[in-house]
Amino acid sequence: MAKRFYISPIAGDGSFENPYRPVLHDTMEQEDGGVWEIASDANGRPIIPYALCLVNAVNHGKFGGLANVDGLPEITLDSTLSVLTNPQRNVLLNFLSKRGIDTSGLNVNSTFREVIERVGKALNSNFNSLNFDVSA
Amino acid sequence: MSFVTDSFTDADNTLLSAHTGELGATWTKKWYSSFNAKIISNQLRSAYLNCTWYASGTPASAEYDVEAKYVSGLIGPNDFIGPAGRMSTTADTFYTAGAAYTGGYKLLKCVAESFTLLGSYGTSAGNTVVKLEIRDAAKKLYVDGVERVSSSDNAITAAGKAGFYNYDQYNSGLLIDNFSASDPSGGATYAPPPPRPALRFAHMMVR
């Protein structure tokens, strides 16, 4: 089992049988686990069409073919973006910018945690990467 | 310090609405099934379909823990039962964490009847104690004392009440036991009722 961050579109209609959830949840298997941040309005409906996800799974390859699901780099939260190549960094930052997430100030010296915090706080001002986790 | 404890000790078929637990545990049904939960073998048997119940006890603040032991009964694909907190008494709004037939254990929020899945811990739900820890900083799902999911969501901020939510798809009877809700300062969880005093027989002089 390994954990990986994703940004995923949202599925569901808000009923208990079909709750709002990231699209990738429906590809998770019984033994997988995850936690996700979904921004919602006062009536519980999503107001931003993507979720930040942390998924613990045996096989992450199954998420690769999902439309508009972007897998973030498999690096530790305390790694700086310098561990990525230029193309890898550009891909990562494009995952954010194409969704309207501000990437100003993120550079090779930024940590991956700063990136996750940037995405998370775009969804929830209360977001804290230290309180965003799923058991291995 | 606990503000609700309920071992669901009562006569079989006692409706939950007529049952009183050990502490802060008279129960009110909020949503939405027309059916009633009841006591069976000193355990709580769920009502058919969607149902929320909240206990009378009042938390000291909006941060508290709610837990219950999931016993058995999950057979329908959408079956779920678990403790709930920050339950509004006027709207269908609450957080819940519990055992599910599909996907193991789930952490959800319900805001004005709209459910959002906040996270899941994937393993078959067994006979376990599920705890929902409610803090402004994080909502956490614990299974048998181990943290399994932590979410930063804080969409529901009012203290509300503690209780439970169930979805019993086929009226199979989802069973829970040993419900408790406690303020974090005391750290107390479920406390069973005191044992009955032993019977004493007077010595009899046989002449």
Predicted confidence (pLDDT) per residue in B116-166, tens digit: 999 999 878 889 999 999 999 999 999 999 999 999 999 999 999 999 999
A50 touches chain B (CB under 8 A): no
Name the strand (E) or helix (H) holding B107. Answer: strand B105-111
Chain B hits for A127, Cβ within 8 Å: 152
pTM for this predicted structure = 0.91
Predicted confidence (pLDDT) per residue in B64-74, tens digit: 999 999 999 99
Chain A hits for B141, Cβ within 8 Å: none
Q: What is the pLDDT of residue B188?
A: 45
Please report the number of interchain residue pairs, chain A to chain B, with beta-carbon separation below 8 angstroms. Answer: 117
Q: Which residues of B touch A (CB under 8 A)?
A: 50, 78, 80, 93, 103-104, 107-124, 136-138, 146-155, 167
SS3 B160: coil
Phi and psi at B125, nearest 5°, equal: -70, 125
Chain B hits for A120, Cβ within 8 Å: 152
Select from A19, A127, A128 the Cβ nearest to the Cβ of B117: A19
* Non-local CB neighbours of B179 within 8 Å, separated by 6+ positions: B4, B5, B6, B8, B21, B25, B44, B55, B66, B67, B68, B83, B164, B190
Chain B hits for A44, Cβ within 8 Å: 93, 109-116, 155
SS3 B105: strand
Distance (Å) from the C-alpha of residue B133 to the closest C-alpha of chain A? Answer: 12
Q: What is the pLDDT of residue B122?
A: 83
A17 touches chain B (CB under 8 A): yes
Select from A32, A132, A135 the Cβ nearest to the Cβ of B151: A132
Q: Which chain A residue shows the shortest CA-CA distance from B110?
A: A44
Q: How far apart are CA B43 and CA B150, in angstroms?
A: 29
SS3 B63: coil
Q: Which chain B residue shows the shortest CA-CA distance from A57?
A: B122
Q: How far apart are CA A58 and CA B72, in angstroms?
A: 28
Q: What is the pLDDT of residue B190?
A: 55
Cβ distance of B103 and A35 shorter than 8 Å: no
Chain A hits for B152, Cβ within 8 Å: 37, 120, 124, 126-128, 131-132
Predicted confidence (pLDDT) per residue in B20-29, tens digit: 999 999 999 9
Q: Which two tokens stand for residue B33?
A: 């099934």
CA distances B55 to A90, A100, A115, B86, B91, Å, are: 53, 44, 42, 12, 15
Distance (Å) from the C-alpha of residue A76 to the closest C-alpha of chain B? Answer: 18
Predicted confidence (pLDDT) per residue in A92-117, tens digit: 999 999 999 999 999 999 999 999 99
Cβ distance of B116 and A38 shorter than 8 Å: yes
Question: What average pLDDT does range B29-49 have in this prediction?
Answer: 90
Question: What average pLDDT does range B170-197 have in this prediction?
Answer: 76
Nearest to B108 by CA among B90, B89, B86: B86
Predicted confidence (pLDDT) per residue in B74-124, tens digit: 999 999 999 999 999 999 999 999 999 998 999 999 999 999 999 999 878
Q: How far apart are CA B109 and CA B96, in angstroms?
A: 6
Indicate whether B197 pLDDT > 80.
Answer: no
Q: Return the bridge partners of B133, or none.
A: B65, B140
Predicted confidence (pLDDT) per residue in A24-54, tens digit: 999 999 889 999 999 999 999 999 999 999 9
SS3 A71: strand
Cβ distance of A37 and B104 shorter than 8 Å: no
Indicate whether B192 pLDDT > 90.
Answer: no
Chain A hits for B147, Cβ within 8 Å: 133, 135
A127 touches chain B (CB under 8 A): yes
